[in-house]
């Protein structure tokens, strides 16, 4: 077994965890990691990793100097720790719990070690060690997911007991999607290295749900909507984004991002209770793409009366050009980015109108918030609400 740790209950942490106090903390290097870590650099650091928490209220960035946590709603720096390079920093909702993995530039920050860290107290709750590098970590209130190159571990978050170890196809990029909700607690993993097939796994019932053959070429990005009903996928070609109804294990809709290939860096559904109203994507072209889903979903449901008929009888691509809204040059070309729809509300202009707040973290060191205002299918506008430099020198 790759795991070399004992099971330790975290119930005391969850009993004492409270909503995150927005206090800027300048932590010393000695609390969690040894003082052998080098002194932080005084130069601006490129971003090695970035992620939003499950409700998009906070986000974290990791650099070669350390990691930082920001309040996404205000842009305020809430916490920073300058102890060395980090490849993974994941936050559990608005609690004090972080899952962090070093980049391997310092001996004390191994990419094969996962640390569950309480940043309010500055203490490590537990460390998990593996034989190979950790490529991705996901968590919600019940489960902890750790993705290695050819194996994915599912843990009970309270006890840290391994519930399942899934053998996977080589997953060099650590590609995965995890539904944060405790009900539809789905995990999606690549099922092929030669085509875009997806394995859907139920992490509560610990069983495979289905396999979706989403694309002809290998996968590049995927994400669940908040209730786990839909899964969006993009292949390495990046010209087409597909949205799948998980219960039917097949394709629901196809949207064309563009004609020329482009790497899809990030996807995000709008928050939803029944079905998502919109989907956004960023890619290596530097553009921000938004797709209106609600009109198509409502139209198909109205015409059929049953949710099963959302699925076309054939898998031929029926592109919804009128539902595609593009903003160019949001991020410099080929700069990696992470996008989330933080908030969306309908407008008085009719069923197709909405106003969405969209957050973007770019690896060149900037956070931006845009507003997309869709009046009608072909009438929309973008506006930049705020911009934040994430790479101020660590102090």
CB contact burial 258-287 (16+ within 10 A = b; e otherwise): eeeebbbbbbbbbbbeebbbbbbbbbbbbb
pLDDT at 250: 73
Half-sphere exposure of 359 (CA within 13 A, CB side): 24
Residue 381 tokens read as 């506008």
Asked if residue 140 lies in contact with residue 178, where contact means CB atoms within 8 angstroms, the answer is yes
Q: Return the bridge partners of 188, or none.
A: 177, 200
Per the listing, tokens 């500055």 go with 122
Beta strands across the sheet bearing 123-129: 86-91, 97-102, 113-118, 123-129
Residue 110 tokens read as 């191994």
pLDDT at 322: 55
Of 275, 340, 360, 355, the C-alpha closest to 53 is 340
Of 144, 119, 120, the C-alpha closest to 134 is 144
Q: What is the pLDDT of residues 78-111, one digit of tens each?
A: 999 999 999 999 999 999 999 999 999 998 999 9
pLDDT at 40: 36
pLDDT at 162: 97
Q: What are phi and psi of 323, to 5 degrees?
A: -100, 15
Q: Are strands 250-256 and 324-327 parallel, antiparallel or unpaired?
A: unpaired
Asked if residue 94 lies in contact with residue 53, where contact means CB atoms within 8 angstroms, the answer is yes
CA dist., res. 269 & res. 276, Å (int): 6
pLDDT at 395: 46
CA dist., res. 241 & res. 252, Å (int): 11
CA dist., res. 144 & res. 97, Å (int): 12
Which portions of the chain are predicted below pLDDT 50?
1-9, 12-45, 304-318, 395
CA dist., res. 16 & res. 95, Å (int): 10
Q: What are phi and psi of 353, to 5 degrees?
A: -90, 140
The SS3 call for residue 368 is: strand
CA dist., res. 45 & res. 24, Å (int): 19
pLDDT at 11: 52
Residue 225 tokens read as 């909507």
Which domains, and CATH codes, for the chain?
Answer: 1-134 (2.40.10.480), 217-395 (2.130.10.10)
Summary count for the chain: helices (H), strands (E): 2, 29
């Amino acid at each position: 077994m790759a795991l070399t740790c004992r099971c330790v209950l975290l119930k005391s942490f969850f009993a004492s965890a409270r909503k995150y106090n927005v206090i800027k903390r300048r932590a010393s290097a000695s609390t969690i990691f040894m003082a052998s870590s080098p002194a932080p650099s005084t130069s601006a650091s490129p971003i090695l990793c970035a992620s939003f928490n499950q409700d998009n209220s906070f986000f974290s960035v990791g650099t070669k100097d350390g990691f930082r946590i920001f309040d996404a709603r205000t842009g305020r720096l809430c916490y920073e720790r300058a102890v060395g390079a980090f490849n993974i920093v994941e936050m559990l909702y608005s609690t004090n719990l972080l899952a962090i993995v070093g980049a391997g530039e310092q001996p004390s920050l191994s990419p094969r070690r996962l640390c569950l860290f309480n940043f309010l107290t500055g203490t490590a709750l537990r460390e998990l060690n593996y034989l190979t590098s950790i490529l991705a970590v996901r968590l919600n209130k019940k489960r902890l997911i750790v993705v290695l190159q050819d194996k994915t571990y599912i843990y009970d978050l309270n006890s840290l007991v391994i519930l399942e170890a899934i053998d996977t196809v080589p997953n060099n990029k650590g590609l995965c999607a995890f539904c944060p909700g405790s009900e539809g607690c789905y995990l999606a993993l690549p099922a092929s290295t030669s085509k875009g097939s997806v394995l859907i796994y139920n992490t509560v019932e610990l069983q495979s749900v289905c396999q979706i053959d989403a694309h002809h070429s290998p996968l590049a990005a995927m994400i669940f909507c908040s209730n786990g009903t839909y899964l969006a996928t993009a292949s390495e070609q990046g010209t087409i984004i597909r949205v799948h109804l998980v219960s039917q294990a097949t394709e629901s809709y196809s949207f064309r991002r563009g004609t020329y290939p482009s790497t899809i860096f990030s996807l995000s559904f709008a928050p939803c209770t029944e079905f998502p109203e919109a989907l956004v994507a960023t890619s290596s072209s530097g553009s921000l793409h938004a797709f209106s889903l609600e009109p198509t979903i409502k139209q198909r449901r109205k015409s059929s009366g049953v949710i099963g008929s959302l699925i076309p009888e054939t898998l031929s691509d029926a592109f919804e050009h009128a539902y595609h809204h593009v903003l160019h040059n949001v991020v410099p070309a080929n700069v990696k980015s992470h996008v989330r729809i933080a908030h969306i509300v309908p407008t008085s202009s009719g069923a197709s109108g909405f106003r969405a707040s969209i957050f973007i973290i770019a690896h060149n060191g900037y956070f931006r918030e845009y507003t997309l205002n869709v009046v009608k299918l072909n009438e929309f506008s973008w506006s930049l609400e705020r911009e934040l430099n994430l790479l101020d020198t660590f102090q």
